[in-house]
Amino acid sequence: MENEKKGMPLLGDKFPEMTVQTTRGMMKLPDAYTGKWFVLFSHPADFTPVCTTEFIAFQTRYDRFRALNCELIGLSVDQVFAHLKWEEWIKDNMNVEIEFPIIADTGAVANTLGLIHPGKGTNTVRAVFIVDPEGKFRIIFYYPQELGRNMEEILRALEGMQVSDANKVAIPANWPINEQLKDRVIVPPATSVELMKDRKAKAAAGEFECFDWWLCHKELKK
């Protein structure tokens, strides 16, 4: 892979094919996660305070990610030796063993994924890419170096996309504790007169509830 600077990928784009060195050996992406979701997250640098808290937070929730058929993989422009020493420090001092791989990037991966902010030197920003089993970018979060990520929101977003895909529904704000709908999901709005009539008929039959024909919701079947 050439060290060519590219822009931030768009939602729906295919994750670019690349071979990367990680703390768990060489990996080919996205092939290594075929059939699974994966979260690739970049951090500015090893041995930095906010990044250390983030890695601990990701690791303590790793089982929850895996329960959603999702793997984690970190990245920064650091040598693999730095990653390994940092992992060792976290285990020795925080009693947390990092189990997911961390990419040791020369800058090629970061440039390909648009992770280098021109005003921040060579450090990578705090980006999060949620990639589906088809190898497509589905969600992208982009944080400044100064702000640590909220892992619960990443898990919520991952689960929400899986629910949306599986049930062909939309997900309301703050789901699953939305102020009006609680854990219910939104039926996609009608886009034709026929569908509008169909929405009204199904609502009348009790298949779902509506505030109006364009805002219908239903209970998620378990």
Q: Annotated active-site positions, please?
A: 51
Give the closest residue to 99 by CA, choosing from 111, 108, 107, 87.
87
Report how far apart the first and last C-alpha atoms of the chain are (Å, whole number): 44
- Separation of alpha carbons 188 and 137, rounded Å: 22
Our CA dihedral for 32, 38, 43, 49, rounded to 10 degrees, sits at -120
Residue 84: Cβ-neighbour burial (10 angstroms; 0-12, 13-18, 19+): middle
- Which residue do the tokens 């779902």 mark? 208
Structure tokens at 119: 């005003």
Give the closest residue to 90 by CA, choosing from 66, 62, 59, 63.
59
Give the closest residue to 60 by CA, choosing from 49, 72, 50, 48.
72
> Which DSSP symbol is given to 116?
B
The 3-state DSSP class for residue 16 equals coil
- Separation of alpha carbons 52 and 93, rounded Å: 11
